[in-house]
Structure 1
Amino acid sequence: MPTILRDDDRPDRLRIRLHRPEVRNAIDLETVKALHAVCDELERKPRILILCGSDGVFASGADIAELLQRSRDEALQGINSRLFDRLAHLPMPVIAAVDGWALGGGAELAYAADIRIASERARFGNPEPSLGIVAAAGATWRLPRLVGEPLAKEMLLVGRIIDAQEALAAGLVSAVHAPEMLDAAADAVADRIASQDPLAIRHTKRLMGLPLDAHPRADDDAQAECFVSPAKRERMTAFLERRKA
């Protein structure tokens, strides 16, 4: 049985649904390999990626049965952290549509997305220390940037789990929807992104991920490429024509 499903495959977007219902979508090595294959595809042909769970669960974490058997050498390979970093650096935006539990590695997968939306029953948490490990796939540095250090420390050190409304108030998610509306809401976000110029979106995402000392030179270089693109002339001409009408 496949560990992920291609739920929606269009020229401008790809929806991937985690699908391991027997273990609440726990992320095992096969899931990691399958998501790397998705990255291969989207690096060659950039599209928006929508990440979803299934059966009312986003992802319950990394597969504990596998983690139990992993050694020091496997920890140093960064099996999940390297995947999540690759997802975070895909050329086009990644949207995480979180329904239900997003715990441990599942929460870290959501943190790696560019945009997160949630259902009313979403729950986020990082209980790794209760299992004798650390949240080593991005939570210790992504989560403080997303929600601020005080809340991040409660989630990482105290084991606090936050619900959808608290995630919204903290800025972890940008919107909360009824579970049955979550897919449509993710598509609406993707529609807005897809209406923009793809080159400008790719450059904007890349620039936002650069260190401060790369600016403003990197911005000027990106703008120079956009200024000579056909899309710039077409879109600006269309804007001026609409204003005249």
Structure 2
Amino acid sequence: MTGYSTLAVEERGDRVVVTLDRPERRNAIDQQMVDELHRVCATLEVQPRILILTGSGGVFASGADIAELRERTAADAASGINDTIFTRISMLPMPVIAALDGYALGGGAELAYAADLRIGTPRLRIGNPETGLGIIAAAGALSRLPHLIGLPLATELVLTGRILTGEEALAVRLVGDLFEPGELLTGAHALADRIAANDPLATQLTKRVLREPAERHPAAEREAQAVLFESPEKRRRMTEFLERRGRR
């Protein structure tokens, strides 16, 4: 994955690290970045790997690019420019980890909400001030945030524009852990290592079933388990487990 102007992309065997890289604009999400994120997704849909999302310059993303946003029309709203890419990221086969430092506001926060797991730093500031700009948080916050932190708190945040600190985000489990800025990516890789140690197919099916609507359960679990019960990797891992236990 090469030829990006708004992203820095590092590929490893079992993961890809994508750094939002518009430091002069505090990593504001513009159309070019959206297009490049679509390119990343196209690769990860064919070659599933863990995705770590982070930002350059001590900022995750300060939001959508206001200069572009100001000129968008009703037709642009109907096309769901940011919502489409954030949904695509959320639907990637393998888990997505958002490593958040500094500002994660507006569209930046919504990108973070699309991840499966979020970690941050004490200087994280995350929230949705869109109504102060005369628009709504229309790229996933109004659907995802209530599931992440509960409807009462989500309602307060999106209606008042209140911004959470890193400690506040940790307290409501919007982020799972806090690291000092210099250790943030180390923490993200440690989380990715734990995921990568598990069976990739079981991980993919777990993520898929987690996102099924309530009416699809328990059928979705049974369908996924039926696939895994026939998997050679299930037999190999269980055989190794039994052999280790037998040696104790």
The TM-score with structure 2 as length reference comes to 0.97
Give identity over the alignment, percent.
Answer: 58
- Residue in 2 aligned with 1:3? 6
Matches within 5 A, 1:1-245: 2-6=5-9, 8-245=10-247
- Counterparts of 1:74 and 1:160 in 2: how far apart (Å)? 27
Deviation sequence 1:153-203 (CA, Å, 0-9, x none): 221111111101110110100000101000000000000000000000000
Report the 3-state secondary structure (helix = DSSP H, G, I; strand = E; otherwise coil) of the residue aligned with 1:57: coil
Alignment RMSD: 0.8
Report the 3-state secondary structure (helix = DSSP H, G, I; strand = E; otherwise coil) of the residue aligned with 1:61: coil
Amino acid at match of 2:6: T
- Counterparts of 1:222 and 1:177 in 2: how far apart (Å)? 35
Amino acid at match of 2:218: P
- Counterparts of 1:189 and 1:180 in 2: how far apart (Å)? 16
- Counterparts of 2:170 and 2:195 in 1: how far apart (Å)? 21
- Counterparts of 2:19 and 2:29 in 1: how far apart (Å)? 12
Amino acid at match of 2:200: P
Which consecutive aligned stretches of 4+ in structure 1 deviate over 4 angstroms post-superposition?
none
- Counterparts of 1:127 and 1:218 in 2: how far apart (Å)? 37
Report the 3-state secondary structure (helix = DSSP H, G, I; strand = E; otherwise coil) of the residue aligned with 2:111: helix
Report the 3-state secondary structure (helix = DSSP H, G, I; strand = E; otherwise coil) of the residue aligned with 1:14: strand
Shift of 1:150: 2.1
- Segments of structure 2 that go 5 or more residues without pairing to the other structure are none
Deviation sequence 1:39-69 (CA, Å, 0-9, x none): 0000001000000011110000000000111
How many equivalent pairs are there? 244
Amino acid at match of 1:214: R
- Counterparts of 1:156 and 1:219 in 2: how far apart (Å)? 34
The TM-score with structure 1 as length reference comes to 0.98
Report the 3-state secondary structure (helix = DSSP H, G, I; strand = E; otherwise coil) of the residue aligned with 1:96: strand
Comparing 213-222 and 224-233, the one that deviates more: 213-222
- Counterparts of 1:220 and 1:161 in 2: how far apart (Å)? 41
- Segments of structure 1 that go 5 or more residues without pairing to the other structure are none
- Counterparts of 1:109 and 1:127 in 2: how far apart (Å)? 15
Report the 3-state secondary structure (helix = DSSP H, G, I; strand = E; otherwise coil) of the residue aligned with 2:60: strand
Amino acid at match of 1:241: E
Report the 3-state secondary structure (helix = DSSP H, G, I; strand = E; otherwise coil) of the residue aligned with 1:52: strand
